[in-house]
């Protein structure tokens, strides 16, 4: 397999961005699950919890790569990824309901289960960006491991300091979903590989980003109005 072609390098870059944006959120959960353990056990919980999570994620991602070859599922996966991209732009992050383990075994179990539940978006996005390449999936997982173990604080600070990071991540997800949709066999046979294909990809990305930003703006406006209304009685008194 040629690694230094434009297609492979762009796919690898997309996987790296996806991991930074999506796996960083899982890293926060890993840290929270181990927060009640003694210091000497926290590192063990994070390492073994991550090992368990990565094994499950590896099997699941390779299974998804295989499943996406089934006619129709590439389209379904692409549409699901559209929803994930919009959710990334609009959803407020809240991990307060993550239960901290009181023992090493409980913390490891929490980490594995939480990652399995939260990692669906990452699994689908990486599988879609890999374009059927198992080698790219393995590279993507190798990148996501250090991100999950050591990257939570870095990713969190990056997103807080540069909010545009989230928009870049959402755009990459939207691009991945669009490419999955147009690469579905019966759609590809109809639109071909030319200008029409890339026009549709661009339109999907613009629509996804537009919907996400519109929802976020609407929520911010409603929140501001609610705060203003809540403050008015105090001003009147």
Give pLDDT, residue 7. 73
Place of tokens 């239960």: 99
Instruction: Using the structure block, give the residue that is written with the tokens 């999936």.
Output: 137
- Domain coverage including residue 124: 6-236
Please name which of 207, 158, 218, 221 lies closest in space to residue 20, comparing C-alpha atoms: 158
| Cα–Cα distance for residue pair 151/3, rounded to 1 Å | 26
Q: Is residue 1 part of a domain?
A: no
Residue 131's pLDDT is: 75
Domains identified in the chain, total number = 1
Examine residue 106 and state whether it is found in any structural domain, yes or no: yes
Q: What is the mean pLDDT of residues 29-51?
A: 74
In whole angstroms, what is the distance from residue 57 CA to residue 46 CA?
16
Q: How far apart are CA 63 and CA 28, in angstroms?
A: 26
Q: What does DSSP assign to residue 223?
A: H
Evaluate whether residue 226 is within a structural domain.
yes
Is residue 80 in a domain? yes
**154 domain-assigned:** yes
Nearest to 25 by CA among 76, 84, 103: 84
Q: What is the pLDDT of residue 205?
A: 94
Distance of CA 38 to the CA centre of its chain: 30
The confidence score (pLDDT) of residue 43 equals 75
Whether this model's pTM surpasses 0.75: no
Question: Residue 20 to residues 78, 134, 174: CA-CA distances in angstroms?
Answer: 20, 20, 15
64 part of a folded domain? yes
Q: Could you report the per-residue pLDDT of 44-84, keeping only the tens digit for each? A: 877 787 778 778 877 888 888 888 888 888 888 889 889 88
Residue 210 near residue 218, CB atoms below 8 Å:
no
d(CA 144, CA 138): 10
Q: How confident is the model over 121-173, as pLDDT tens digits?
A: 778 888 888 877 778 877 777 776 666 666 555 655 666 677 777 788 788 88
Predicted local distance difference test score (pLDDT) of residue 35:
67
pLDDT digits (tens, 9 = 90+) for 163-220: 777 788 788 888 888 988 998 888 988 998 889 999 999 999 999 999 988 998 888 7
Q: What integer is the mean pLDDT of 106-110?
A: 76
| Domain presence at residue 51 | yes
Residue 64 to residue 61: CA distance in whole angstroms: 5
CA-nearest of 145, 124, 138 to 30 is 145
Within the chain, residue ranges assigned H as helices are 6-18, 24-33, 39-67, 73-90, 104-118, 120-130, 134-150, 152-161, 164-182, 185-191, 195-236
Distance of CA 232 to the CA centre of its chain: 40
94 vs 204 pLDDT, higher one: 204
Q: Is 99 or 90 the better-scoring residue by pLDDT?
A: 90
């Amino acid at each position: 397999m040629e690694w230094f072609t434009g297609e492979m390098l762009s796919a690898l870059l997309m996987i790296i961005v996806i991991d930074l944006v999506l796996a960083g959120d899982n890293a926060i959960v890993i840290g929270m699950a181990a927060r009640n353990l003694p210091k000497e056990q926290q590192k063990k919980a994070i390492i073994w919890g991550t090992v368990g999570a990565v094994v499950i994620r590896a099997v699941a991602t390779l299974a998804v790569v295989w499943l996406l070859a089934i006619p129709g599922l590439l389209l379904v996966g692409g549409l699901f990824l559209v929803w994930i991209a919009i959710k990334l732009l609009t959803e407020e992050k809240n991990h307060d309901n993550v239960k901290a383990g009181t023992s090493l075994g409980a913390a490891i179990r929490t980490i594995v289960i939480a990652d399995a539940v939260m990692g669906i978006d990452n699994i689908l996005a990486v599988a879609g960006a890999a374009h059927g390449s198992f080698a790219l999936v393995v590279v993507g997982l190798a990148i996501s491991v250090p991100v999950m173990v050591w990257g939570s604080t870095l990713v969190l600070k990056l997103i807080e300091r540069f909010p545009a990071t989230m928009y870049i991540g959402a755009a990459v997800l939207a691009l991945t979903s669009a490419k999955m949709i147009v690469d579905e066999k019966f759609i590809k046979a109809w639109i071909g590989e030319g200008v029409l294909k890339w026009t549709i990809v661009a339109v999907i990305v613009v629509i996804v980003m537009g919907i996400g930003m519109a929802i976020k703006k609407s929520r911010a406006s409603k929140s501001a109005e609610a705060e203003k209304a809540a403050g008015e009685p105090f001003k009147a008194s």
